[in-house]
Structure 1
Amino acid sequence: MLRTHVFLIALLSALLFPVVSHADDTTLFVEKQRFEVQNFTFFNGKQIPMLAVGWESYGTLNEDKNNVVLITHYFTGSSHAAGKYSKSDSTPGYWDAIIGPGKAIDTNTYFVVSVDAIANLGVHDPNVITTGPASTNPQTGKPYGLDFPVVTMRDMVNVQKALLESLGINQLHAVVGPSMGSMQAIEWASAYPEWVERLISVIGSAQSDAWTTTALEQWAIPIKLDPLWNNGNYYGDQPPLEGLTAALMFITQVALTPEYFNQQGKALAHSPLENAPLNDIRADHAITDWLYQRAAKRASMMDANHLLYLVRACQLFMAGQKDSLKTGLADIQAKTLFLPASTDLLLMPYHAHSAYTAMAAQGKAVEYAELNGTLGHLEGVVGIQQQAEKIKQFLDSPAR
């Protein structure tokens, strides 16, 4: 249990300081690669001269180029889905439990590709390649800031599609993704149904409904209220790290559960009547300070404007970027599997179940199962192995 606890925080929320581990003979070693698109046009019609993203691959592309599984990553993640960059890496990619030789997404069979999102949150991470508000506009020589075009899931999908086409690929055995990655996966299947044979949506949603849109706005508000944000014009000055840290605190808490936080509180000897907050309104409880310190550490690798752009991309999501959920789902031809987490407080299971019900009513090949456990939304990353056999069987089964 302790090992899972440390792995969870180090890998997903970067809230602990991990101890370096050593690779064994079965470790996948991967290399980040760079892909560029010239004169990229966004869904809203705006264009930038050049867009770059990082990508990784695992396994070997077969001669027919039809063994491709695309992995689309979650909100605070990157294309580092499996393996390690070097033996000294503290943790492997976030889905290493199910991606690799002999695993559920078997790299002896499949060519697995994963791509950094546009406006990736970890823009200052040396292992992330992304173009977004913090990037230099070649036409001005200055960061784009809020002049960067608003991003949608379709834009992320279109960059991935351009990358795959550059490799001579025009068919996906499957597209699989958790959380924000599930939105991209669903967008793939709706926007380009002729490409996608199988779709797996993990801890996801086929639309941002009214509840989700307002819940996501809570992540944006602290940044906008930080005076250093300066309407997005902070490049070259002090960035709004306090606002970004507060946003990351909210994200981390809603991605977990009361059970998890109460367990951590016990480790910190949490008490409502702790001496410091009882005697000084400026003092924090130990659990609050624990969360703040670790969120602040991670904020240094991220960019506040990028977070705002990813929030908006999630808020704008509707399957196929259509005018209704029914219409967007109707375009999907892929055999589909929904895997929500039963304790998820962020993208609650009703999201996946409503999409599943709608697709079943349309006569589509669709399946539904749940991830169980006390980690809430993060069961879709750390707890994904509990559905490894289901995922393997789904990928190995006939497409339609």
Structure 2
Amino acid sequence: MKILLLSKLAPAGWLSVCLLIALCSLQGHASELPLVKKHTYSTTNFSLFSGKQLARVNVGWESYGKLNQDKSNVVLITHYFSASSHAAGKYRADDAAPGYWDAIIGPGKAIDTNQFFVISVDSLVNLSAYSADVVTTGPASINPATGKPYGLDFPVVTIRDFVNIQKQVLESLGIAKLHAVIGPSMGAMQAIDWASAYPEWVPRMVSVIGSGQSDAWTTAALEHWALPIKLDKLWQQGKYSKNNPPTDGLVAALMLITQQALHPHFFNQQGQALDYSPLEDAPLNDIRASHSIVSWLETRARARATQMDANHLLYLVRACQLFVAGHQGSLQQGLKAVQAKTLFLPASTDLLLMPYLAQQAHNALKKADKSSDYTELTGELGHLEGVLDIQEQQHKLKAFLEE
């Protein structure tokens, strides 16, 4: 069964964990991973792409499988916008769901942990700042210079900064080269930037529902995610307290993001499950009332927002807006250094990072005589195809990693 209505699952927000993960896991047809342990890497005086520094940085990371003797079997998973390093397995036996790519990471799966040491690192400014399983530094963290949360004093960060902290984590483990780097959405941005920034590290790169840069359309669309937070009176230029955050703005942002991550066909199926009708009684009789589909969307966004931080969302938006692979003057210039074999897996129904963005990067690499392959995921989940139905291309992915 490929489609499972979201109303039957736990509440969630944008591309987050519990929407259809159980479905993916059922389709994995392989052994489960042992319980996963979350580790913390810490460093000081971390230099950012902007030239600014963070006095202290913590990031969480986790791994699956075993590192071989010469440390040549490392597959780095770079995560999407609202995710964390929890790509597979469970932290606790009674966890409601495993990591978001559990369908393809594990013993005998496409990213085979009998063969590869798979590692994933939390992004800086991780969206789930108040999750017990997230330790990563961001605007909600305490500024050691003031003893108070950074707020908007936190410096702007980029995709390159996410890549650089990942590189430090790998180096702390004695790793000097990857077998491959693979990521969905914002993770795909990190993956292709890895291939450009550190070509000697990356022989294989897989971009899932990704892009090579944030073009004008994407940058403007991302700004709409930030605006509800900035317009919330409790935001106060980022100086809100943890006990009185701009929750309404954050919820509105998550509602928008969640809808954009889905395709209308799938979304309308959810409406049918709710018996949605344009002429519902409540909104017909009270301007303050909402349609059933709007209430459904808000309920899930509000539940997810409890673990998230509004300022963190703004910083993640800006990192995506600033993105161009290679972080140089143009996409073409940034891709010149790439040595990796590359595979692009956009989703044909994606209305968030539309397939043309991956096609643009693929074409630029081909024009530069680089090795690049392109295949579209099909299905009705929109952007979520790359998170929740990636196993559609598991055989292609497995073959690519084992070339």
- Given candidates 291, 296, 299, the residue that maps to 2:297 is 291
What's the secondary structure of 1:228's corresponding residue? coil
User: Does the alignment pair 1:83 with 2:93?
Assistant: no
Q: Is 1:42–2:48 an aligned residue pair? A: yes
> Following the alignment from structure 1 to structure 2, what is the Cα–Cα distance between the partners of residues 220 and 159?
25
Which of 262, 276, 282 aligns to 1:256? It is 262
Post-superposition CA distance 1:56-90 (Å, at most 9, x none) = 00000011111000000000101000000111011
1:172 maps to amino acid: L
Identify if the C-alpha distance between structure 1 residues 65 and 302 changes in structure 2 by more than 3 Å, giving closer, same or farther: same
Superposition deviation, residue 40 in structure 1:
0.7
Provide the rounded CA distance (Å) in 2 between the counterparts of 1:147 and 1:15.
33
Cα separation, 2, equivalents of 1:383 and 1:8: 16
Q: CA RMSD in A?
A: 2.0
Q: Per the alignment, do residues 8 and 116 of structure 1 end up closer, same or farther by CA in structure 2, a change over 3 Å counting?
A: farther
Partner of 2:107: 101
Query: 1:340 Cα deviation (Å)?
Result: 0.1
Correspondent of 1:301 among 293, 307, 331: 307
Matched, 1:144 2:150: yes
**1:214: which partner in 2?**
220
One-letter code aligned to 1:93: G
- Partner Cα distance (1:392, 1:25) in 2: 16
CA distance in 2, matches of 1:2, 1:360: 33
Seen in structure 2, the aligned counterparts of structure 1 residues 270 and 2 have a Cα distance that, compared at 3 Å, is farther
Is contact 2:11–2:303 with CA below 8 Å preserved after alignment?
Answer: no
Partner Cα separation in structure 1 for residue 2 and residue 373 of structure 2: 33
Partner-residue secondary structure (3-state), 1:245: helix
Q: For 2:245 and 2:303, how far apart are their aligned partners in 1?
A: 14
1:320 is paired with a residue whose SS is coil
- CA separation in 2, counterparts of 1:44 and 1:72? 21
Alignment match, 2:344: 338
Alignment partner of 1:226 out of 232, 244, 253: 232
Distance 1:185 1:133 in 2: 24
Query: Given the two structures, how large is their TM-score scaled by the length of structure 1?
Result: 0.95
CA separation in 1, counterparts of 2:21 and 2:359? 36
Are the equivalent residues in 2 in contact too, given 1:37–1:159 (CA < 8 A)?
Answer: no
Can you give the 5+ residue segments of structure 2 that lack an aligned partner in the other structure?
none
* Cα distance per residue 1:140-167 (max 9 Å; x no partner): 1000000001010110000000000000
Distance 1:10 1:288 in 2: 14
Pair 1:115-2:142 in alignment: no
Amino acid at match of 2:110: A
Instruction: Give the CA deviation at 1:41.
Output: 1.1
SS in 2 for 1:227: coil
What is the percent sequence identity of the aligned residues?
Answer: 64
Distance in 1 between the 2:104 and 2:31 partners?
17
Change in 2 beyond 3 A, CA 1:395/1:268: same
Give the 3 Å change call, closer, same or farther, for CA 9–368 of structure 1 in structure 2: farther
Q: Which of 160, 165, 170 is residue 159 of structure 1 equivalent to? A: 165
Residue 282 to residue 276, structure 1, CA distance change in 2 (3 Å): same
Once the 2 structures are TM-superposed, how far is the Cα of residue 28 of structure 1 from its aligned partner?
A: 3.1
Structure 2 vs 1, CA of residues 25 and 181 (structure 1 numbering), >3 Å: closer, same or farther? closer
Q: Summarize the Cα distance change of 1:361–1:9 in structure 2 as closer, same or farther, 3 Å threshold.
A: farther
Find the counterpart in structure 2 of residue 268 from structure 1.
274
Offset from partner CA, 1:182-225 (integer Å, 9 cap, x none): 00001100011111010000000010000000000000000000
Q: Does 1:238 align with 2:244?
A: yes
Count of residues in Structure 1 that have an aligned counterpart in Structure 2:
395
CA offset digits 1:318-345 (Å, max 9, x no partner): 0110100100111111000000000000
- The CA distance in 1 between the partners of 2:334 and 2:20, in whole Å, is 42
SS in structure 2 at match of 1:35: strand
Q: Aligned letter for 2:387?
A: V
In structure 2, the CA distance between the partners of 1:8 and 1:186, relative to structure 1 (3 Å rule), is farther
Residues 8-61 of structure 1, C-alpha deviations (whole Å, 9 max, x = no match): 866744677999x99x97343100000011111111011121100000000000
Rounded Cα–Cα distance in structure 2 between residues aligned with 1:240 and 1:17? 28
SS state at 2:235 partner = helix
Q: Which amino acid aligns with 1:164?
A: L
AA aligned opposite 1:279: N
- Aligned residue for 1:389, secondary structure, equals helix
Aligned-partner SS, 2:54: strand
Partner Cα distance (2:358, 2:32) in 1: 34
Residue 393 (structure 1) aligns with: 399
CA displacement at 1:4 relative to structure 2:
3.8
Deviates more, 1:1-10 or 1:271-280: 1-10
Q: Which amino acid aligns with 2:371?
A: A
Q: CA deviation at 1:249?
A: 0.3
Contact 2:332 2:364 in 1 (8 A): yes
